[in-house]
Structure 1
Amino acid sequence: MTTLVIGASGATGRQLVEQLVNMGQKVKIIVRLPEALPRSWIDNNSISIIAAAVPDITIDEMTDHVKGCHAVASCLGHNLTLKGIFGKPKELVTDSVRLLCNAIKNSSPKYPVKFVLMNTVGHRNRDLNETSSFAERMVIGVLRLLLPPQSDNEKAADYLRVTIGQNDPLVAWVVVRPDSLLNEDKVTGYNLHVSPVRSPIFNPGKTSRINVGHFMARLIVDDYLWKKWKGQMPVIYNVRNKNG
Structure 2
Amino acid sequence: MTVLVVGASGATGSKLVEQLLFKKNKVKVIVRSPEKLPASWKTNDNLQIITASLLDLSDTEMREIVKDCNAVASCLGHNLTWKGVYGQPRKLVTDATRRLCNAIKSNKLQSTTKFVLMNTTGNRNRDVYEPISFAQKCVIGLLRLLLPPHVDNEKAAEYLRTQIGQNNSFIEWVAVRPDSLIDEEEVSNYEIYASPTRSAIFNAGKVSRINVGHFMASLITDDDLWTKWKGQMPVIYSKSNLQ
What is the DSSP-based 3-state SS (H/G/I as helix, E as strand, rest coil) of the residue aligned with 2:240?
Answer: coil
What is the DSSP-based 3-state SS (H/G/I as helix, E as strand, rest coil) of the residue aligned with 2:8?
Answer: coil
Per-residue displacement from partner, 1:75-100 (whole Å, max 9, x unpaired)? 00001110000001100000000000
Per-residue displacement from partner, 1:166-222 (whole Å, max 9, x unpaired)? 000001000000000000000000000000000000100001000000000000000
User: What is the TM-score with the length of structure 1 in the denominator?
Assistant: 0.98
Give the Cα–Cα distance (whole angstroms) in 2 for the partners of residues 172 and 32 of structure 1.
27
Give the Cα–Cα distance (whole angstroms) in 2 for the partners of residues 241 and 199 of structure 1.
14
What is the DSSP-based 3-state SS (H/G/I as helix, E as strand, rest coil) of the residue aligned with 1:200?
Answer: coil
Output the aligned Cα RMSD: 0.9
The sequence identity of aligned pairs, in percent, is: 62
Q: Which amino acid aligns with 2:167?
A: N
C-alpha displacement of 1:241: 5.7
What is the DSSP-based 3-state SS (H/G/I as helix, E as strand, rest coil) of the residue aligned with 1:198?
Answer: coil
Q: Which runs of 5+ in 1 are unaligned?
A: none
Q: Which runs of 5+ in 2 are unaligned?
A: none
Q: 2:151: which partner in 1?
A: 151
Q: Which amino acid aligns with 1:59?
A: D
Is 1:162 aligned to 2:149, yes or no?
A: no
Give the Cα–Cα distance (whole angstroms) in 1 for the partners of residues 141 and 47 of structure 2.
40
What is the DSSP-based 3-state SS (H/G/I as helix, E as strand, rest coil) of the residue aligned with 1:50?
Answer: strand
What is the DSSP-based 3-state SS (H/G/I as helix, E as strand, rest coil) of the residue aligned with 1:236?
Answer: strand
Q: 2:27: which partner in 1?
A: 27
CA contact (8 A) 2:206 2:241 kept: no
Q: 1:189: which partner in 2?
A: 189
C-alpha displacement of 1:129: 2.4
Give the Cα–Cα distance (whole angstroms) in 2 for the partners of residues 125 and 155 of structure 1.
11
Alpha-carbon spacing, 1:112–1:136, altered in 2? closer, same or farther (3 Å): same
Q: 1:232: which partner in 2?
A: 232
Alpha-carbon spacing, 1:143–1:241, altered in 2? closer, same or farther (3 Å): closer
Q: 2:173: which partner in 1?
A: 173
Give the Cα–Cα distance (whole angstroms) in 1 for the partners of residues 236 and 224 of structure 2.
18
C-alpha displacement of 1:240: 2.4
Per-residue displacement from partner, 1:36-79 (whole Å, max 9, x unpaired)? 11110000001000000111111111000001100000000001
Q: 2:128: which partner in 1?
A: 128
Q: 1:7: which partner in 2?
A: 7
Q: Which amino acid aligns with 2:54?
A: V
- Equivalent positions of 1:64-75 (< 5 A) are 64-75=64-75
Q: Which amino acid aligns with 1:100?
A: L
C-alpha displacement of 1:108: 1.6
